[in-house]
Amino acid sequence: MSDLRVGLIGYGLAGRAFHAQLIAATEGMSVTAIVTSNPARREEAAREHPDARLLATPAELWDIDHDLVVIATPSATHAELAHQAIDHGVAVLVDKPLAVTAAGAEAVLEHADRAGILLTVFQNRRWDSDQLTLRRLLSEDRLGSVLRYESRFERWRPQAEPGAWRAGAAEAGGGYLLDLGAHLVDQALCLFGPVTRVYGEVAALRGVPADDDAFLALRHADGVISHLHVSAVTAAPGPRLRVLGSKAAFVVHDLGSQEDELRAGLRPDMVAGWGEEPESRWGRLVAGDESRPVPSERGDWPRFYALLTAALRDGGPPPVDPRDAVRTLHIIEAGRESAATHSIVALEDRAVPTG
């Protein structure tokens, strides 16, 4: 069976390190075209993917037959490029976020549904080692009833890059809450389900329009509370995860290794034991004075593209339901509203898609 032909739009960090590397490592997929107008990135793409056609604009891509288009461009361009792919009848994967607003994401979703086009969103951190390990512990009832879920992407980058698109205002796709915060919200929704109340604190502390320090408190319908922290100005980052249960807590201090390996140019098909974490980075099960290491599940970002390949071949569901991405954006917007009004925002009466 011939490989699925993939056109990749964008060859910055996400396009080069994450998507192109994972596609190249996925059986049954090939990168057949790369869109980038940056001369240095074109040279890099030519070296790393010599069989792919190099294009300067997305318009050139629509004249070539593809089975899938991957959008890995600045966030403000995601929705428009997704609409173009749908108009041309091509299945589309959008790097998170699906759009910069919930309304924009809903419009893409409705367009794809009307056209009968597969649409999915790259929420790859569902397959982080810490998330997979936590799911195992929950299935084994090792924590008891979860009382509070704390999740962090905290960094120490006190100097912003004023010219970078991520330093722009939220409506232009900038900010940490829309970027890394989309992962945190998505993970919480996957673990604990719908959210009924949102409280937010959002700040821009580095002299650029982008928010760089945010906290969201989510109340899930099942009673679990999620505390989500995303920051570029945390000189002493907290643990990656701290999950408090009625029997025990699960604490993970370090982020998994998959991102670092992909950034270094490694691929899952080139590394034995991809996603395995050394014992020094395992999480711990804690109950008062008792603390013991918990063997980590292997991180599995390649699973996303394996599931997507199966969906394209067999017509099954995509690896991430795009409705989840819409729900995530509704929660992020509720967090911004809460921060602006100093109030708790209720979500029950909002038209958030289900199913």
Domain extent listing, the chain:
4-124+305-316, 126-298+331-345
Sign of the alpha-carbon torsion through 227, 232, 233, 239: positive
pLDDT for 353 equals 56
Given a cut of 80, whether residue 354 has pLDDT beyond it is no
Which pLDDT band, with edges at 50, 70 and 90, does 8 fall under? very high
Residue position matching structure tokens 């997305």:
58
Split at pLDDT 50, 70, 90, the class of 172 is confident
Residue range 212-234: mean pLDDT, rounded? 97
DSSP state, residue 233: B
Please report which confidence band the pLDDT of residue 170 belongs to, taking 50, 70 and 90 as the band edges: confident
126-298+331-345: CATH class: alpha beta
Q: How is domain 4-124+305-316 classified at the CATH fold level?
A: Rossmann fold (3.40.50)
What is the DSSP annotation of 82-110?
HHHHHHTT-EEEEESPS-SSHHHHHHHHH
Taking the C-alpha atoms of residue 2 and residue 66, their distance in angstroms, rounded to an integer, is: 12
State pLDDT tens for residues 234-293.
999 999 999 999 999 999 999 999 999 999 999 999 999 999 999 999 999 999 999 999
pLDDT of residue 349: 61
Does residue 355 carry a pLDDT above 90?
no
Mean pLDDT of the chain: 95
pLDDT score of 160 more than 90: no
Residue 181 has pLDDT above 90, yes or no: yes
Tens-place pLDDT, residues 35-74: 999 999 999 999 999 999 999 999 999 999 999 999 999 9
Over residues 81-115, the pLDDT tens digits come to: 999 999 999 999 999 999 999 999 999 999 999 99
Bridge partners (DSSP) listed for residue 218: 198, 226
Torsion of CA 103, 104, 105, 107, to 10 degrees: 90
Q: pLDDT above 90 covers what percent of the chain?
A: 93
pLDDT digits (tens, 9 = 90+) for 289-345: 999 999 999 999 999 999 999 999 999 899 999 999 999 999 999 999 999 999 999
Please enumerate in sequence order all residues whose Cβ is within 8 A of that of 302, keeping only pairs 6 or more positions apart, or say none. Answer: 22, 25, 26, 268, 274
Q: pLDDT at position 350, please?
A: 63
Q: Is 222 exposed, middle or buried (0-12, 13-18, 19+ CB in 10 A)?
A: exposed
